[in-house]
Amino acid sequence: SRVAVIVVAAGSGTRLGRDLPKALVPVAGEPMLVRAVRGVRRALPGAEIVAVLPAESEDLWRIGRELGGRPVATEPDADDGGSAAAVRDTAGHEAAGTGGVVLVAGGATRTASVRAGLDAIGPAADLVLVHDAARCLAPAAVFDAVVGALESGATAVIPALPVVDTVKTAVPAEDPRIAPEQVYDTPARSTLRAVQTPQGFVRSALAAAHRQAETWAGHRAEAVTDDAMLMELAGIPVHLVPGSLESLKITTEQDLRIAEAAVASAGE
Ligand code: C5P
């Protein structure tokens, strides 16, 4: 298939206040990983799917295998002392091309998890979508819009919604016991967008941006919160397409209740 989708599901989920990896948390009875992979299959039948899982969660790897997933062998990556680089596995990719899933272990940060996913994609794909498992209810229309814009020639495409709140940047208090943090400034609301996933890219451009970011450390690495940001830093235009309220990132208990209400009203 031309399109590969990396579903990043290697986060810890501490903000949901559960002792579970987030992708294992059920939404109306089904783990987020299951809903996310099903959503990708519905939207893009035949796309290669790479699910990036926490190395230590036996439950998620079992669920991944139940989804038809094939683990890709990993080997220590000589360049960065210990992280695992996927070894391309022909059998796994044949399975992935027919709606199967390749399973790969994630890293300590979202960026590292995306990189592990990139290393596991088969040779055929020239477009890559990166999707958060936590946005497991993202509708097919958004996947279609992202792929459509890539097929029309964009190098990077992200779904986004206008922001309804006025947003301010803050100067954190040096000592919150003495003084509260203060407002630094107010970006014009009409220019702000809340961005979601799936984010879509020409594979070669995303891979190059990730190779560059691999050399970063500390604050600079921590500041990378999505893939589009790497393209912006590389000077590549990032196109916006309409996102969806259904693509909310399930982060808190409140989000979980909103997601479950959405599933119920969709009549599932
Ligand atoms: O932490 P955050 O909410 O930004 O995570 C967004 C997505 O990235 C989630 O689907 C999560 O599972 C994934 N992630 C990952 N590996 C990490 C951290 C987050 O795959 N180390």
Residues 140-165: pLDDT tens digits?
999 999 999 999 999 999 999 999 99
Mean pLDDT lowest among 1-5, 55-59, 73-77, 135-139:
73-77
Amino acid 267: pLDDT: 83
Angle between helices 32-43 and 58-66 (to 10 degrees): 30
Tell me which residue of 26, 261, 227, 54 sits closest to 128, measured CA to CA: 227
Amino acid 87: pLDDT: 45
User: Is residue 136 within 6 Å of ligand 1 at its C-beta?
Assistant: no
Asked if residue 42 lies in contact with residue 86, where contact means CB atoms within 8 angstroms, the answer is no
Amino acid 99: pLDDT: 62
- What's phi and psi for 162, nearest 5 deg? -65, 155
Q: Which amino acid is at 221?
A: A
Burial of 70 (0-12, 13-18, 19+ CB in 10 A): middle
Amino acid 83: pLDDT: 41
CA distance 47 to 177: 53
Instruction: Quote the DSSP letter at residue 73.
Output: P
pLDDT at 246 over 80: yes
Taking CB atoms within 8 Å and a gap of at least 24, the contacts of 88-92 are: 88/120, 88/122, 88/123
Instruction: Quote the DSSP letter at residue 109.
Output: S
- For residue 131, what are the CA distances in angstroms to 170, 189, 226? 29, 26, 10
Three-state DSSP class for 50?
strand
Amino acid 84: pLDDT: 41
Residues 75-118: pLDDT tens digits?
544 444 434 444 444 445 554 555 679 999 999 999 999 999 99
- Ligand 1 center to 9 CA (angstroms): 6
User: Is residue 116 within 6 Å of ligand 1 at its C-beta?
Assistant: no
User: Is residue 93 within 6 Å of ligand 1 at its C-beta?
Assistant: no
- Ligand 1 center to 114 CA (angstroms): 9
CA distance 32 to 264: 15
Atom of ligand 1 nearest to the CA of 133: 10
Amino acid 85: pLDDT: 42
Q: Which amino acid is at 99?
A: G
Three-state DSSP class for 20?
coil
Average pLDDT along the chain:
90
Amino acid 142: pLDDT: 98
Amino acid 98: pLDDT: 54
**CATH superfamily ID and name for 3-265:** Spore Coat Polysaccharide Biosynthesis Protein SpsA; Chain A (3.90.550.10)
- For residue 222, what are the CA distances in angstroms to 62, 104, 160, 225, 260? 30, 22, 22, 7, 31
Residue 108: CB atoms within 10 Å:
10
Tell me which residue of 112, 114, 137, 113 sits closest to 38, measured CA to CA: 137
Name the β-bridge partners of 267: none
- Ligand 1 center to 11 CA (angstroms): 4
Residues 184-211: pLDDT tens digits?
999 999 999 999 999 999 999 999 999 9
CA distance 67 to 82: 29
ipTM: 0.96
Amino acid 1: pLDDT: 63
Residues 30-60: pLDDT tens digits?
999 999 999 999 999 989 999 999 999 999 9
- Ligand 1 center to 228 CA (angstroms): 15
Amino acid 96: pLDDT: 52
pLDDT at 121 over 50: yes
User: Is residue 200 within 6 Å of ligand 1 at its C-beta?
Assistant: no
Average pLDDT over residues 227-248: 97
User: Is residue 131 within 6 Å of ligand 1 at its C-beta?
Assistant: no
Spans of all domains in the chain? 3-265
- Ligand 1 center to 180 CA (angstroms): 30
Atom of ligand 1 nearest to the CA of 225: 4
